[in-house]
């Protein structure tokens, strides 16, 4: 079975020097793809002890026999996004798979907005959360998607969040930005339909990454009890869904969001 043979394809995964992005990149490489690693800077990977650096993650990919490079860009800046996309395409020749993973509930001057509800949140935190999540996805899709439209081939995988699919009073702007990604995915999927480019979204559940462990309170240990479908997800649980969306098994699926939650 060659269902997951991505040989000859080039994947670009944003925010891939750490967390779920790194796992997505490694799974795509193991399936045969060359993978472009990205983060805001080389040392972002070390923040939660998940990798030594972005360069080290690119080395991990190369050790699997694939081409790789580590490229930096601040994805809250549309000009940097355009240059980043151009650089990636120039260096690797083409991009077949785009995984818009970069994002997070991140304050303008703090790890998370504080306060983090709908009314008391600071305006600068609203703007930062929207830039980090929604703007970055729309601009990445604009520049890499135009390249895919020209080539009449490609898979775009946007990363939303299960938080977008039920009401909350904490992380409201983050959840709303991720809900925007789900609808943007529907719309872009429709626009790309004539060009044979698939656009889908994964909305991951809470997943046991370095950032998750570092930012959760002690009583969250309860989330690691129960059946497989009740526990906090492991990175490979989400990575396998990304592989499905990147591979031929999803060739007739577009505009959809796969929502994962327990």
CATH number at residue 69: 3.40.50.720
> Does residue 174 have an active-site annotation?
yes
In a domain, 1, yes or no: no
In a domain, 236, yes or no: yes
Q: Domain range spanning residue 159? A: 10-259
- Report the number of distinct structural domains present in the chain: 1
In a domain, 205, yes or no: yes
Give the burial class of 24: count Cβ atoms within 10 A of its Cβ; 0-12 exposed, 13-18 middle, 19 or more buried.
buried
In a domain, 18, yes or no: yes
| pLDDT tens, per residue, the chain with 262 residues | 446 899 999 999 999 999 999 999 999 999 999 999 999 998 888 776 778 899 999 999 999 999 999 999 999 999 999 999 999 999 999 999 999 999 999 999 999 999 999 999 999 999 999 999 999 999 999 999 999 999 999 999 999 999 999 999 999 999 999 999 999 999 999 999 999 999 999 999 988 876 666 666 544 555 667 888 888 889 999 999 999 999 999 999 999 999 998 6
Where does the chain have alpha helices with state H? 19-30, 54-63, 78-92, 123-130, 136-151, 172-192, 210-215, 235-246
Kindly report the pTM of this predicted structure. 0.94
Q: Which of 24, 143, 166, 174 is catalytic?
A: 174
Q: Computed from CA positions of residues 125, 130, 133, 137, in that sequence, does the dihedral angle turn out positive or negative?
A: negative
In a domain, 3, yes or no: no
3-state DSSP helix/strand/coil % of the chain, to nearest 5: 50, 15, 35
Check if the beta carbon of residue 35 is closer than 8 Å to that of residue 68: yes
In a domain, 5, yes or no: no
In a domain, 4, yes or no: no
């Amino acid at each position: 079975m060659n269902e997951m043979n991505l040989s000859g394809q080039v994947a670009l995964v944003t925010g891939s020097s750490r967390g779920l992005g790194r796992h997505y990149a490694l799974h795509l490489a193991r399936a045969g793809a060359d993978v472009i690693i990205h983060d805001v800077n080389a040392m972002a990977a070390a923040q939660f002890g998940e990798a030594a650096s972005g360069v080290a993650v690119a080395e991990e990919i190369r050790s699997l026999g694939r081409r790789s490079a580590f490229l930096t860009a601040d994805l809250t800046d549309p000009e940097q996004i355009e240059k980043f996309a151009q650089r990636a395409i120039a260096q690797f020749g083409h991009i077949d798979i785009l995984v818009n993973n970069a994002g997070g509930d991140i304050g303008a001057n703090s790890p998370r907005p504080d306060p983090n509800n709908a009314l008391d949140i600071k305006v600068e935190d609203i703007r930062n959360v929207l830039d980090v999540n929604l703007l970055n996805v729309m601009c990445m899709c604009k520049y890499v998607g135009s390249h895919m439209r020209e080539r009449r081939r490609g898979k775009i995988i946007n990363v939303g969040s299960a938080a977008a699919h039920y009401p909350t009073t904490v992380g409201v702007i983050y959840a709303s930005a991720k809900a925007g990604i789900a609808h943007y995915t529907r719309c872009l999927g429709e626009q790309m339909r004539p060009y044979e480019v698939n656009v889908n979204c994964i909305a991951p559940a809470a997943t046991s990454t370095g950032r998750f462990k570092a930012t959760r309170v002690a009583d969250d240990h309860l989330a690691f009890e129960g059946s497989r479908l009740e526990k906090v997800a492991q990175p490979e649980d989400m990575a396998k869904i990304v592989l499905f969306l990147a591979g031929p098994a999803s060739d007739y699926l577009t505009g959809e969001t796969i929502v994962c939650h327990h």
